[in-house]
């Protein structure tokens, strides 16, 4: 874990020119943000696709949403561009995952002036006791894997959006309640589907350790070849450990991830003789409009969090069932 956080500091020099732009933006008499006074919707910058999906549900057309990341983009490795910093500088609201999810953007977020810009870290909005600790002091940022936990971020999001657009308070709060209800329904569906597997069959082996919240919520033992971040490569000891586990536990299938290179999983599959069960979405949603059949529910859109989690669960169940 120490290596992981050291890696986040390495691009700091590259960010200095961009950070200067942010600092200058806060030194004038008034911030360079969309005030909403001209009847234009306030501008919100979001980072990951999961966050963009949630903000769209709660904020809808009341805001102009400008996402930084698109389908398949790994937030651990994402390097902000000058255009990204310009978007952040001009936005009224910035909403990000936090808990060092966007590892190479930490310095930018830490330098945003709360007196000049409304910000929200969804991960940091959750109580410490529901977060999964890593290395004793830090926390796993992959909170969207648990639909019930993701629903618990909605009140903080609602409060943030109301602060940005108080005249739409009732509509935002209504949409927030609807989003929470939908997420709790999704949580129930996922639990019901996971029960199709016996407990001893619920061993989920993936490229990196992005499914601990998913595993805790839906009863899976999760084994990631790499650690929490994809900023470091899996070592030979990690690969050997997983091969031994797959053979010893007679794991039926292992899984690649849409935002991570499949090379390590392919090697483990070849060396252990285990099947690759399919592709899971971990740190990014699928392409909007890409539909997949999840059984009785029909087809879902992999470009939404609901579609992402239902698609993942269906892929896992189909690959691991007897």
The CATH number for 222's domain is 3.40.50.1980
Using one digit for the tens of pLDDT, what is the confidence trace for 63-114? Answer: 999 999 999 999 999 999 999 999 999 999 999 999 999 989 999 999 999 8
- Asked whether residue 133 falls in the same domain as residue 223, the answer is no
Distance of CA 169 to the CA centre of its chain: 26
Closest CA to 40 of 59, 63, 60: 63
Q: Which of 143, 162, 185 is the last residue of a domain?
A: 185
The verdict on residue 208 lying in a domain is: yes
In angstroms, rounded to a whole number, what is the distance separating the alpha carbons of residues 55 and 176? 10
In angstroms, rounded to a whole number, what is the distance separating the alpha carbons of residues 106 and 96? 10
pLDDT for position 96: 98
- Angular region, 280: left φ>0, alpha ψ -120 to 50, beta rest: beta
Contact 25, 19 (CB under 8 A): no
- Asked whether residue 33 falls in the same domain as residue 79, the answer is yes
Using one digit for the tens of pLDDT, what is the confidence trace for 272-312? Answer: 999 999 999 999 999 999 999 998 879 999 999 999 999 99
- Rounded to a whole number of angstroms, the CA Rg of the chain reads 20
Contact 187, 233 (CB under 8 A): no
Q: Which of 126, 155, 185 is the last residue of a domain?
A: 185
- Asked whether residue 71 falls in the same domain as residue 108, the answer is yes
- Asked whether residue 102 falls in the same domain as residue 213, the answer is no
In angstroms, rounded to a whole number, what is the distance separating the alpha carbons of residues 64 and 70? 16
Question: H-type helices in 195-235, by residue range?
Answer: 212-218
The encoded tokens of residue 76 equal 């651990």
Q: Which of 185, 206, 222 is the last residue of a domain?
A: 185
- Asked whether residue 175 falls in the same domain as residue 299, the answer is no
- Asked whether residue 179 falls in the same domain as residue 225, the answer is no
**Block mean pLDDT (10 aa), the chain, length 322:** 38 47 43 51 98 97 97 92 95 96 92 93 97 86 98 98 98 98 98 96 93 98 77 73 94 93 93 96 95 91 97 97 92
What range defines the domain where residue 6 resides? Answer: 2-185
The verdict on residue 39 lying in a domain is: yes
In angstroms, rounded to a whole number, what is the distance separating the alpha carbons of residues 300 and 297? 8
The verdict on residue 190 lying in a domain is: no
The verdict on residue 191 lying in a domain is: no
- Asked whether residue 168 falls in the same domain as residue 268, the answer is no
pLDDT for position 232: 53
- Asked whether residue 229 falls in the same domain as residue 129, the answer is no
Burial 176-205 (b: 16+ CB within 10 A, else e): beebbeebeebbebbeebbeebeeebbbbb
- Asked whether residue 154 falls in the same domain as residue 31, the answer is yes
Strand pairing category for 253-257 and 275-280: parallel
Domain count, the chain: 2
- Asked whether residue 220 falls in the same domain as residue 116, the answer is no
- Asked whether residue 81 falls in the same domain as residue 22, the answer is yes
- Asked whether residue 176 falls in the same domain as residue 205, the answer is no
């Amino acid at each position: 874990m120490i290596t992981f956080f050291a890696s986040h500091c390495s691009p700091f020099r590259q960010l200095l020119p961009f950070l200067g732009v942010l600092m200058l933006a806060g030194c004038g008499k008034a911030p360079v943000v969309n005030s909403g006074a001209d009847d234009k919707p306030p501008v919100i910058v979001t980072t990951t696709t999961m966050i963009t999906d949630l903000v769209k549900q709660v904020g809808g057309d009341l805001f102009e949403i400008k996402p930084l990341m698109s389908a398949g983009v790994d937030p651990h490795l994402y390097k902000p561009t000058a255009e990204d910093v310009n978007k952040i500088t001009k936005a009224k609201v910035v909403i990000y995952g936090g808990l060092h999810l966007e590892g190479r953007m930490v310095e930018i977020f830490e330098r945003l002036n709360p007196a000049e810009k409304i910000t929200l870290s969804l991960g940091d909005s959750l109580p410490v006791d529901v977060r999964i600790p890593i290395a004793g002091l830090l926390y796993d940022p992959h909170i969207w894997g648990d639909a019930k936990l993701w629903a618990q971020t909605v009140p903080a999001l609602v409060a943030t959006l109301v602060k940005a657009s108080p005249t739409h308070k009732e509509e935002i709060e209504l949409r927030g309640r609807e989003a929470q209800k939908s997420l709790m329904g999704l949580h129930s569906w996922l639990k019901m589907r996971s029960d199709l597997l016996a407990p001893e069959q619920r061993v989920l082996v993936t490229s990196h350790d992005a499914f601990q919240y998913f595993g805790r919520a839906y009863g899976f033992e999760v084994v990631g070849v790499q650690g929490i971040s994809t900023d470091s490569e899996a070592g030979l000891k990690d690969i050997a450990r997983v091969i031994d586990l797959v053979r010893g536990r007679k794991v039926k299938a292992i899984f690649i991830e849409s935002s991570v290179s499949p090379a390590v999983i392919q090697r483990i599959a070849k060396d252990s003789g285990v099947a690759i069960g399919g592709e899971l979405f971990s740190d990014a949603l699928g392409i909007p409009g890409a539909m997949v059949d999840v059984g009785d529910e029909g087809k879902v859109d992999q470009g939404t969090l609901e579609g992402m989690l239902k698609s993942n669960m269906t892929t896992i169940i189909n690959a691991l069932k007897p």
